[in-house]
Amino acid sequence: MSTAEQLRHPIESGVPDPFPFMHPVLKRNYGAWAWHDRPRPGVLRHVAKSGEEVWTVRAGTQRQMDVFTIRTLCDIADRFAEGYVRFTTRSSIEFMVSAADKVAPLVDALTDAGFPVGGTGNSVTMISHTQGWLHCDIPGTDASGVVKSMMDMLHEEFVREEMPNRVHITTSCCQINCGGQGDISINVQYTKPPKINHDLVAKVCERPAVVARCPVAAIRPAMVDGKPSLEVDEQKCVCCGACYPPCPPMQINGADSTKIAVWVGGKHSNARSKPAFHKLVVANLPNNPPRWPEVAEVVRTILSTYKANAKDYERIGEWIERIGWPRFFELTGFAFTRHHLDTWTGARKTMNMSAHVRF
């Protein structure tokens, strides 16, 4: 009698073992590669010291996929790509093949199915984004929808390699949880303190946890109409929204107060220059689903100006540091407003009132 195959136990932390699902050429030559190149946008060729070659075709996909799309990609992998795929951190899918003559049919199959091939080299990569309305419990906007409108506009820059350097764009649907540094970052901007539903606070929220959650010690317990509740010191509040996840009655989102801001110059790597935080360039953009035209126009302006003026291999932040911020605002035509001035001087006093930081 045959015994059932022992299933792999799930790993709750760390990276799963990649070898069971790795292409045989990659497995045989792991850590022993001689060189690589890009024969065309979206295609990588790696040559091992043993002489073996593997070709990788990268295609753009949405981060949140339905079963039909997943099955379509798997069928393409089985028919044209020797059955091996992997996903990148920016939600692209990569197919590996061991022969050059398999690349063109694979590219054609992906293109015919509606998956653009690109995102390598000096291109606009797929946009890294958060969950949005579909999955997030505290979204101020729909990051997935913003990405859809952006990539419709930037499709040609994804399938070509015509930028001075690679461009990483990120989108976040709130101010506190997800997201990361990017050449261009599209983030929610809350402009008003939370509105508190005092009837629900005691029923829903653990008040000490909410008080401790505030990074600037702007929340304290209070009795309102004889009911235990919370109050916000609006002079201290920085409108970050950190109180909203543990206490939904402290609603931070609103049609009049939830805006979009665009930041530039973020960078994770230390190639050519040090890692850097992105910086604000445009604030108070309308949160206008389903296409966010104002946000799209700002991103288009930044990319076209960068493409026309940067030197080869300069990232957006490096280009701005070279020409200076006054020149950047002059070239893009963006207004320099009070939102760009860091005038908050209460850090030491306010932070020392918090449970988080002492200095």
Matching CATH number, 143-191+255-340, of 3.50.50.60, 3.40.50.150, 3.30.413.10, 1.20.1280.290: 3.30.413.10
Matching CATH number, 19-113, of 1.20.1370.10, 3.30.70.3340, 3.90.420.10, 3.20.20.140: 3.30.70.3340
The domain ranges of the chain are: 19-113, 143-191+255-340, 195-251
The backbone torsions φ and ψ at residue 9, rounded to the nearest 5 degrees and listed phi first, read -70, 140
What pTM was estimated for this model as a whole? Answer: 0.87
> What pLDDT was estimated at residue 1?
45
Summarize pLDDT for 149-175 with one digit per residue, the tens. Answer: 999 999 999 999 999 999 999 998 888
| HSE value, Cβ hemisphere, 13 Å, CA-based, for 34 | 8
What is the percentage of the chain residues whose pLDDT exceeds 70? 92
Summarize pLDDT for 245-292 with one digit per residue, the tens. Answer: 899 999 999 888 999 999 999 988 888 888 888 899 999 999 999 999
The backbone torsions φ and ψ at residue 40, rounded to the nearest 5 degrees and listed phi first, read -160, 165
Q: Among 355, 350, 272, which residue's Cα sits nearest to residue 315?
A: 272
How open is the CA angle 24-27-28, to the nearest 5 degrees? 85
Check pLDDT > 60 for residue 2. no
Q: Collect all residues with Cβ–Cβ distance below 8 Å to 126 and sequence separation of at least 6.
A: 60, 61, 88, 90, 91, 92, 119, 151, 158
Beta strand pairing call for 169-172 and 184-190: parallel
In this prediction, residue 350 has a pLDDT band, given cuts at 50, 70 and 90, of low
| HSE value, Cβ hemisphere, 13 Å, CA-based, for 231 | 9
Summarize pLDDT for 41-85 with one digit per residue, the tens. Answer: 999 999 999 999 999 999 999 888 899 999 999 999 999 999 999
CB 68 within 8 A of CB 105: no
Spatial distance between the Cα atoms of 280 and 180, rounded to a whole number of angstroms: 14
> What pLDDT was estimated at residue 132?
82
CA-to-CA separations, 146 to 79, 159, 296, in angstroms, rounded? 33, 19, 8
Check pLDDT > 90 for residue 314. yes
Question: Which has more pLDDT, 329 or 345?
Answer: 329
Matching CATH number, 195-251, of 3.40.47.10, 3.30.70.20, 2.60.120.380, 3.40.50.1820: 3.30.70.20
Q: Collect all residues with Cβ–Cβ distance below 8 Å to 40 and sequence separation of at least 6.
A: none
Summarize pLDDT for 322-341 with one digit per residue, the tens. Answer: 999 999 999 999 999 877 87
CB 151 within 8 A of CB 171: no
Beta strand pairing call for 227-232 and 219-224: antiparallel
Q: Give me the torsion for CA of 173, 176, 178, 184, rounded to 10°.
A: 70
Same fold for the pair 19-113 and 195-251 = yes
Alpha helices in 128-169 (DSSP H): 143-159
Tallying the residues shown for the chain, one arrives at 359
**What mean pLDDT is predicted for residues 291-316?**
96
Q: Collect all residues with Cβ–Cβ distance below 8 Å to 356 and sequence separation of at least 6.
A: 215
In this prediction, residue 15 has a pLDDT band, given cuts at 50, 70 and 90, of confident
Question: Which has more pLDDT, 100 or 217?
Answer: 100
Choice among 12-16, 52-56, 217-221, 304-308 with the minimum mean pLDDT? 12-16
Check pLDDT > 70 for residue 4. no
CB 249 within 8 A of CB 201: yes
CA R_g for the chain: 24
Question: Which has more pLDDT, 49 or 346?
Answer: 49
Spatial distance between the Cα atoms of 333 and 341, rounded to a whole number of angstroms: 18
Query: What does pLDDT average to over the chain?
Result: 89
**What mean pLDDT is predicted for residues 293-307?**
96
